[in-house]
Structure 1
Amino acid sequence: MGTNKVATVVLFDVSRTMAAETDNGETFFVRSLNCLKRMILRKIFSQDFDDMGVVLFGSDNTNNNLANGTSSCYRNIEEFFPLSLADWNLYERVENLQMSSVPKSDWIQGLVAAQDFMKNQTQGRKYRTKQLVVFCNLNTEISVYVEAVNPIVKALESENVNFIVIGNDIADDCEGKELDSQVSGSLRLMFQCITNLKDAVHFSFSDIEKDLKYYEKKRKMIRFYSISLNIGSRIQLPVRWMKVNKEATRFKWEVLNDNVISEPRYQQQQKSGYLPQQTMGYQQQQKMDETKIEFETDTVKHTNFGGTIIDLSYADLEALKRNTGPPSLTYLGSVKSGRISRSMFVGKDQYVLIADKSARAVAMFSAFVDALLKAKKYGLARRIASKNGKIVVGALLPVSDDFGKALYFLKLPYSEYVQHIPIVHLPISNNTEAKKAINDLIDNTMLPDDLLEEDKGILLRDPSFQARCHALYLRAMGKLPPMSFIPLPETVQQIMNPSPLNDEANEALKKIAEIFPYTEPEEKAESPKRKPKPKETITGSSHIDYKFLAKGNLGHHPALEYSKMISVNNKQEIKEIIEFANAEYDDIFSEEMS
């Protein structure tokens, strides 16, 4: 960011020569001071990171590196404010400036001192542009030859400094006159400097005051960033994406009917005689909202899922900090557009994706957008914006209009399957080796890229996420009243079983079992009167038995064996799955979707 900064040094005359009146009746000093204050305000309000410094000449004080105690040169020149970020401290000091008692100033010596000040202050810094701004009254006589300004011109050119003079209207003063015979003194010397310099300009007070009336924020350049949309393990679609800031290019939603907007849902249910059950549900939800979960830091962090607040556990917060690798955009699958409503999106940020400039990328991207539109589906993608950054799961909304084809990326609630090992929270420990092993396990049990077979149903293999979306979809359609039983769709029932772990995940589990060894307690002698019941293996879609893993049974994980035994046609097993899901996530759906 340092290469985009501008270094501005202001050379300001405070001698009594600035007491002369200008064309509007104000003095040179007053008009120059007002212009300088507006320049500082413009820097502050535009939120630029430019640096500004001020050097006074004709001052009562002498404070510069060129002044010598025995010499009369470079007297009455003061380094008033160092080159730094323009702020309110600089504005306050400039506002309190007063004219000095010095009758006459030497702006040529002031130029030399200002160049020395700029060279010392910018040493070791990088700037895109350097500029020297001069405020002075040129209607004075000076006993210096024109040739004396040549070294100053060469020094400004060698340092690539833009030279700006504000004050007299040189064009009006020189109109109809010959430079050598009629124009003399300071005006002639300054005219010589400006004409000999490549990057030099002069402004009269009337010109500069018009421009300084307006404060404009620094405009950010609209820039697309290149990235690959990874579809499976073989397809890499080159795309460009950027954040959408302008309202005209944001993704638009259909407006609901007036009667739906004006009446909240509970008022509509009140008219239909649904008041008692609704009131009871609202009171229970209100009571539930008062219960807070305390973490290690005694602060509760949460995220919004539609109109519902979801508390984040320690595992969620810790998972957000783990290593995520380089930036990436991975396609996870698709879902019917009717399954995801507007209230499911989190935050206001929108990103637009377009094809890369190559003809091949345009053809691939066009086919991909057309396929989503034809199937009336949204894509699901996982995005990592920067190295070791936060993982974001979102929907890809296809758009095809007169301007071309594009995908809008809108963030969905953070996928729980990515955040933590199901049910088993991350331990609070300073053991970096243990944390790394658990991080590796999470990374290798994330949504894989090879789930593109047609028989997989909804491809985002996160049961809790799919259950939430399905419940909110039913609520939006008016098919699911609050505090009621949440039926799971068949596609969710089929993916309640964990997918098989890959070799990397098994290695991570083995490492965790070594770090957290489990010693089996001694078994008591069996009573002859009562035979112990055989211990049932705890099974489920999201249970990891560390005791079982510690014995080295990594290839026969009970949760994986469970996936072989389950049958969709077994009503009892499906009922147990539904009860398990409702017991864990019932509080999330207790609040009605707005």
Structure 2
Amino acid sequence: MRPKIDQASIIILDVGKNVAMSEETPGKSFFDEAKACAARVLERKIMSQGKNLVGIVLLGSKKTKNNMAEMSDGTFKYIEMLAELQPPSWKLIRDLPDEPSKKKGDWIDALLVAADHFKNGVSNVRIVDKKIILMTNFKAPTYVEADEINQVLDGFKKEGFEVDVIGPDIYGKSEKYEEENFEIARNFVENTDGATATFENTMRYLLFHKKKSVSAMSWNVDLSIGPNIKIPISSFVRSKDEPPINKWRTAVKDPISTTASSTEGILKQKTYITENQNNVKEEDIIKGYHYGQTIIPDADMNNSSYESGEKCLSIYGFTDKGNVKWENLNGNGISYIFGRKGDNKAQYAVRCLVECLHELNLVGIARRVYNNGNAPKMYVLFPVIDTNDYICLSMIEICYKENIKYMAFPVTNLKKYECTSKQVDAFKNLIKAMDLTNAYDETYDDREAFPIAETVSPSVQYVLDCISFRAMNPDKPLPKPRDDIMMLFKVPPLIEKRSQEPLNVLKDLFILKKVEHKTRDKKVNSTPLIQNNINQTTMDVDSNDQSNDMPKVQLATAKAIEVNNIGTENPIRDFETLLDKNQTIFNLSPQMTKAIERLFYSNFDGNFSKALNTLKYFRNKCVETDPTYYNKWYIQYRSSLTECKNEDIINVITENKLGFILKEENVLSTYETPDSHEDSQLYENDTVPDMTEVAVKSDVCDMFDEM
């Protein structure tokens, strides 16, 4: 079966001597306007990404290059087939000529060349819509006889060709154009169901990019109500938020030839690497949660026994329409539900359901599974009754309970917030003045501003403009949004004029007072302030100096800090302060070790300088007094680090030689209490052998694990 093409268009662009100058627009020729219009048509077809083919024929070209001229010499002169029917591309726009030629061609012959290419130049393709777009000013006369023209016209009608004329007003009366050519052009447009428009109207129509028209695809399923009722329905997407470009083929630019290639690309590969730089397969990965510095695997996440089941649309129940607020709705679009096409009983059942919901002011709550294995979602079904022939259900996704965020607002139904009748009337007048359905005067075709489903998105239009500009100008910076896009952000002049008086009335009726939020005075920082220790005599300046007039600043004196326990801000200072208050190391060691553990835990970036300095200070104090406190704590701390697989902290402590305190280090010990002295003599024999396995380096353990 031959592939189907929605539309194929051949643009006949007149580049002859007759379009070189224009008397209507000084400084801008017919050729310039025709080239800009043809480029805009090609750009629209590229952006729509539809199944279209485009060809270009140059009328009045220097060359004679077409199939008809090759078949019969001396005919169809100065007509060049610049591009045969092909998908629209930026290259077609670049290949358009920069200036007109000094030749003239026959526009009837150009139509025959385009028709011949449709018939003989394209094979193995089934074209639905065949269109020929003619852009000429008809100043060059045609030498085709009237009988031949009638034969050509009959052939066009038989083959289903559509002829569109863009440029001159062929229905207007003007001495600038040949009236005979106008009459022939009108016959082609009318008998082929074509269209005609000036460049101004055409460019206005092509002002914004539009999405390609796509035939609606239905989602067919049975609407289940209870265990026994199943209605065959079809769901169609009514509106949906989509990106401006769904699928865009990227190209890689060759730095040598500065050309883009669509057959080459950047290879992207996703790999999972462990801390030991080992590759892991994706199927071997287990998801988990980060709890502190420990990763807890979630086995239920990967081995879940829950199954959503087959695709379905099941109504769980009905509720009052007022129970469904706008903040409960979710999703990025809306769908319409109709009875299955060809099933009269299903259509009648859906119609009956819609009418019942409308009369009882109810909505349906349904569970939807789009396809087998997909996650289920909850939807609300609203009745839609526009006319007798347009009755259906609208389906919108609804939030789950955990997705709803409740916000508390102050009560407004108080007397001090009560509005007077004048204030209410003032707002009503403002609303009437800002009515968008009556935003323009009679000089505009449509008096409505920003009509629904017709107003384009400014951001999407700017993105598409940037893509088009980058394709044609790869080395230039992106331009600012054009004026046509910025106009979408402006208030219509008529509305701005009408709303000025109601706004002034509102300003007089509602006297707004600026609310000043009182802020609490921040507490004095516990960090001691810098004291002014400079001698007052050094601050004295000669009386003749002009700086004597400067105000004097009195610096606040520092207050002594009360230290009751050891914190993490400055643990060494706190430790020394408490020692000066006759605190013993026996009482201070638990606080000091707890502060050290917090310092290690809070350094996620791997910089343990503050924790190491504190640990070194505490270890030296224990070396001078009693190493037992340090060694007992270190045994427990190292065991906990090993269980949590925090080898980074263990390696840092080992590299800085801050491990166990050996006996030969305690040469300055003056701790001679009998009980503690006994423990001090045993620490070398009791602690080191028990921690032999823990003290093994991590890379050695990894080596045995790999074996």
TM-score range, shorter chain: 0.3 to 0.5
Structure 2 length-normalised TM: 0.40
Higher relative contact order (CA 8 A, sep 6+): 1
Q: Which has the larger radius of gyration?
A: 2
Structure 1 length-normalised TM: 0.47
